[in-house]
Amino acid sequence: MTDWTDHSARARAWFEDLRDQICAEFEAIEREAGSDASFTYTAWNRHEEGNPDPGGGTQGLMKGKVFEKVGVNVSTVRGSFAKEFAGSINGASADNPGFAATGISLVAHMANPHVPAVHMNTRFLTTTKAWFGGGADLNPPIPYEEDTAEFHAAMQAACDPHNPTYFERYSKWAEEYFYIPHRQVGRGVGGIFCDHLECADDAAWERNFAFIQDIGKQFLEVFPAIVRKRMNSRFTPEDEARMFEYRGRYAEFNLVYDRGTIFGLKTGGNIDAILMSLPPRATWS
């Protein structure tokens, strides 16, 4: 069996570097808006009985003038799944529940209803198998076709150099995954989502890692540009009410259906980091 320790370290280094780039860009946007808001970083340690090195992570959180609430988290954890949960994870079982995971997770809720909320998550996991997964999706309370097209074009630019079928497959997967069955609506306007990009050997790992990096790079290009275009738009109380109602649906998806939330809770992650995706204010009518 391949020892993926060095690969995990490289993936972790990339996720941490991407976090630093994103946080710097978001803080720059706050400065452009006349705000001195900055990220605060809180380290946390995971606990697992009998595990001397269960890992942990760092939660980055900022509340500002443009970003009402944005979290950018990086975690690196290792240990064993609970037996009743292990069977639901690729390559794990009740008899072989060991795992290691490293990844970045980002959710931004914006102060202006005309600026879309956004989610981005990429990760590398190992059980008896090793694979990458993740993606990014746009979540506007008030959609603009231009913004949707720009975001989708960026995600396609991440996909096309690696496989000409990726964008069609992974954009469809995003539509299916980011769907709220009890509301019969999508959570947002889509993006891409992929999982179980398996790494049978070093060559496959390098290919998949390059793709995962390109998702992050394209996100860093497109989302700040959309924010800057919309952040000074005037909005009405009706626009704001629409945003709060939309946020309620966002929260419903994340608490009921989201795999990342379930994974974090089932593996003893930091509760504040896991639930940082929840909006600061929301309404249900």
Residue 23 main-chain phi, psi, to 5 deg: -60, -40
Read off the tokens for 127: 């059980």
Q: Across the strands, what pairs with 75?
A: 57, 103
Quick check: 55 and 78 in contact, CB under 8 A? yes
Sign (positive or negative) of CA dihedral 200, 166, 75, 41: positive
What distance in Å separates the CA atoms of residue 209 and residue 14, rounded to the nearest whole number? Answer: 10
Which residue from 264, 261, 4 is spatially nearest to 127, judged by alpha carbons?
Answer: 4
CB count in 10 Å sphere of residue 230: 20
Residue 278 · residue 254 · CB < 8 Å? yes
119 is catalytic: yes
Task: Select which of 119, 152, 162, 182 is catalytic.
Answer: 119
Query: Catalytic residues, which ones?
Result: 119
